[in-house]
Amino acid sequence: MDVRTAFFALLLVVLGAIATLMIAPLLQYVMAAALLAFVLYPAYERLEPRLGSKMAALALTLLAVVGAVVPLLLVSLIVLQTVASFLGDIDGASLVERSREIARDEFGLEAEQIQALESAVLAEIDSSLSNAAEIALLELLSLVNTSIEMGLGLIVFVFLLYYLLADGETFVAWLREVAPLETEVREELFAEINVVTWAVIKSHVLVAIVEGVLGGLGLYLLGVPNVAFWTIIMVVVAFLPAVGVWLVWAPAVGYLAMTSGPVPAVALFLYGVTVLSIVDNYLRAIFVDRDSGLHPAVVIVGVIGGIYLLGIMGLFLGPVLLAVFKAGLNVFSRHDFTTAAAESTHPTETPDKLDGETASSPTD
């Protein structure tokens, strides 16, 4: 390697490191936009002949923004309503009186001792209020900072989604051109990634929505309160295969047993182990085992690891990234790159070279 080649390679490494540092804070938004563009691209291909490239991309981007913002607002309203309802049901006077009864009946404390204990608790609360204002201010500043970062990330997400739809073909063509792979390997890799990505999206998102809605329907029919809130929770936990919605309906069985009697509790238990378990096992098997072959344990690692790395976006992106990695390993295992690299490093002698050697030999 000569000096110019080494300098150019070093320059590329430096620029690549700078680009990585710039993209890293926005990584989850960039990857989310790429995944959503991948999902919406079939719809874009249908709309593009009718509306044109720019209008079709703009329409789908607006649809995606509305489809993301409206459910987020609904979820926020449901959570706030549930918290407000819970706080409204708390009777402070009854709670204090109940605490006094427990202290008197269960622990045998005298009235003077109870009053002294209340005074000590109130004094401790008063001393903690001075630190509470400082903590609240720090949390407020952190919330403002997080909101600004999220707002900037969402702006990047929206613009990137639009341009990936409008100029996606150009971007994919550039990737095909710069990828240092043979044509056969490159096309096989792209096809494998397409298959496993769709398989994980179907098994990951569709199964979670179906399970959450069916679980919420069961809770509603059996009289569990705050059904909308628990339905959202079940949709979220349903992203975890083999763990899933039983984290919600199993405690609900105990709640019904204590409040409504054994019949509703047994009915919910049977509903969970039959309907919800069948949906989880069979739908995941259909979408995962037949298409991607991504084991449920890998999906769990992808979900939890994705949340650690990418935040809430990791629910969707984690398993997809592991599926793409597996697709790359599958393609790599089917091709002998070592032999190809050896042949490219030590090419066989060509007839022209042999002719040149013969021509340079001494003549009479």
pLDDT in tens, 255-267: 888 887 788 888 8
Distance of alpha carbon 281 from alpha carbon 242, whole angstroms: 8
In this prediction, residue 357 carries a pLDDT of 46
Residue 95, amino acid: L
- What is the pLDDT at residue 264? 83
Task: Show contacts of 283-286: CB within 8 Å, 24+ apart.
Answer: 283/203, 283/206, 283/207, 283/210, 284/203, 284/207, 284/241, 286/203
Rounded distance, CA 259 to CA 265, Å?
A: 9
Contact predicate 303/244, CB 8 Å: no
For 45-104, how does the pLDDT look when each residue is reduced to its tens digit (9 = 90+)?
Answer: 888 888 888 888 888 888 888 876 666 666 667 666 666 665 555 555 565 666 666 666
Tell me the average pLDDT across 276-288: 71
For 299-314, the DSSP string reads HHHHHHHHHHHHGGGH
Task: Say what the pTM is.
Answer: 0.63
Among 51-60, 104-113, 341-350, the minimum mean pLDDT is found in: 341-350
